[in-house]
Amino acid sequence: MAKKYKFKLQGLMKLREFKEKRVKLELGEIVSEIQKNKEEIYTLGQQIEEAYTSYNESSKTGVDGKFLQFYPYYIQGKREDIKNKENLIYSLERRMEEKRIELSQARGDVKVVEKLKDKDFQEWKKHTTKKNQEDIDDLMSIRRNNSKRAE
């Protein structure tokens, strides 16, 4: 009975595949975080626009001056939030680029082991086929010798 094919470096291959998956997940989390911050920047921009509109409406209706002094501080705070989020996005994009390089390396590492596995499998298959043919030839030889003796 023929033995099943077993790749000697299967453990290494699984480790490398695991690392590749982990890096992909980390990259996905970074992309998600960037998108979330971009959406928050957009929302902050809308809030600033609403504040300007509210300020203009309030100043036309004759609201107390102390109340109107609040708007510049509010808008300044929102702009600071935007600036902080833009800085965060910048650092996340740098991390994302590092993860892309790491992912590229991890994919390369997996491909190296996959090629080794393919090569090893082809050699095993060739050896197994050769061994099976030798067994068949031996059986045929034994059968011929037995039939010659029977005559």
Burial of 57 (0-12, 13-18, 19+ CB in 10 A): exposed
Q: What's the confidence (pLDDT) of residue 141?
A: 87
SS3 8: coil
Written as one string, the DSSP assignment of 100-118 is HHHHHHHHHHHHHHHHHHH
Lowest mean pLDDT among 41-55, 61-75, 126-140: 61-75
* Cβ(51)–Cβ(78) below 8 Å: yes
Phi-psi region of 71 (alpha: psi -120 to 50; beta: other; left: phi over 0): alpha
pLDDT one-digit tens code per residue, 25-45: 999 999 999 999 999 999 999
Q: What's the confidence (pLDDT) of residue 2?
A: 60
Taking the CB of residue 133, how many other CB atoms lie within 10 A of it?
Answer: 10
Written as one string, the DSSP assignment of 53-78 is HHHHHHHHHT--HHHHHHHHHHHHHH
If you average pLDDT over every residue of the chain, what do you get?
91
Q: What's the confidence (pLDDT) of residue 148?
A: 75
* Cβ(23)–Cβ(106) below 8 Å: yes
Angle at 125 between CA 122 and CA 131, to 5 degrees: 140
- Contacts with 70 (C-beta within 8 Å, 6 or more apart), sequence order: none
Q: For the chain, what percent of residues have pLDDT higher than 90?
A: 69
Please state the three-class secondary structure of 3-27 as a single string. Answer: CCCCCCCHHHHHHHHHHHHHHHHHH
Q: What's the confidence (pLDDT) of residue 101?
A: 97
Q: CA 79 to CA 88: how far, in whole Å?
A: 14
Is residue 47 scored above 60 in pLDDT?
Answer: yes
Tokens coding 92: 């996340």
Q: What's the confidence (pLDDT) of residue 60?
A: 77
